Amino acid sequence: MFHHQEGRVEGHLFITVLAFQFVPIIRHRLHEQGIAASWTRLRATVRVQRRVSVTFRRADGRLLQVRKATQPEPEPEPKASYTALGVPHTPGRLKKTIT
């Protein structure tokens, strides 16, 4: 990664080190629940899930923006991983904004 500001370099390195530390923790917790997939397989499993935003024009001319997470698919593999880690199956909340 190429950054123009020192603070961004430090931020990028910090996030990278955190991720490096979390991978073994996540794999250990999953292994305790009987999920022994490789890190590559786990990433591929959850990669299909997205957070999407849609904008609609209302009858009164204002815009309605809706943001939500897609359902994890193909089931049940991603949901099993989320359950084992104690995290929600659809991260974030439904967010509606009218402008």
Q: What is the pLDDT of residues 7-66, one digit of tens each?
A: 778 888 899 899 889 889 989 999 998 988 888 888 888 788 888 999 999 999 999 999
Name the pLDDT band for 3 (thresholds 50, 70, 90): low
- The sign of the torsion formed by the CA atoms of 37, 43, 44, 46 equals positive
Backbone angles phi, psi at 81, to 5 degrees: -65, -45
Beta bridge partners of 66: 54, 96
Beta-carbon contacts of residue 74 (< 8 Å; ≥ 6 apart): 48
The pTM is what?
Answer: 0.61
Residue with the larger pLDDT of the pair 75 and 43: 43
Tokens of 31: 């292994």
| pLDDT, average across residues 81-94 | 83
Q: What is the pLDDT of residue 1?
A: 53
